[in-house]
Structure 1
């Protein structure tokens, strides 16, 4: 997951073929694994 000003970490992750997601997309990906609100 990357936010604003990711810089060299974003570049290195992209070069390594690591999937890059925005915070909103990451939240959607993990939503089903989070406990429901009480």
Structure 2
């Protein structure tokens, strides 16, 4: 895979909580989930 460009994002609490829940349910890293 080609090297990705790294970015920084700010998430509100609700979005962050949703991503954390999805991450745990899908057993993937946050990076994999966002990709």
TM, length-normalised to structure 2: 0.39
Look at both structures and tell me which one has the larger radius of gyration over its CA atoms: 1
TM-score under structure 1 normalisation?
0.36
